Structure 1
């Protein structure tokens, strides 16, 4: 079961991505760039390597949800 924090974070991310899409952003491109950034340890990456697959899956889920 999701924690309150997880619910709040997912809602915030969905809202931000929805507004980015409405503003003309291509979420598929942003999602791919984010996955490459996580894999390449860009400055916004703090998860350990064993979490990176889960992050990639979460990005795909979120982009697909807004689609």
Structure 2
């Protein structure tokens, strides 16, 4: 699970530095900065809560539709 956060962090940073200046826009820069700075810390509580077996079973039940 932490690999997903690290790869998101690295890929958004890489894209931000390698994007062409011709496709630069304020809205794209804002979206990249949000992905880079807000999303990884927001995902960490979700990742740590998925270690709980009861929560993992509840998420599995929701995803498979078996009630």
TM-score range normalised by the length of the shorter chain: 0.3 to 0.5
Q: TM-score, normalised by structure 2?
A: 0.39
Of Structure 1 and Structure 2, which has the larger fraction of its residues in helix?
2
Q: TM-score, normalised by structure 1?
A: 0.39
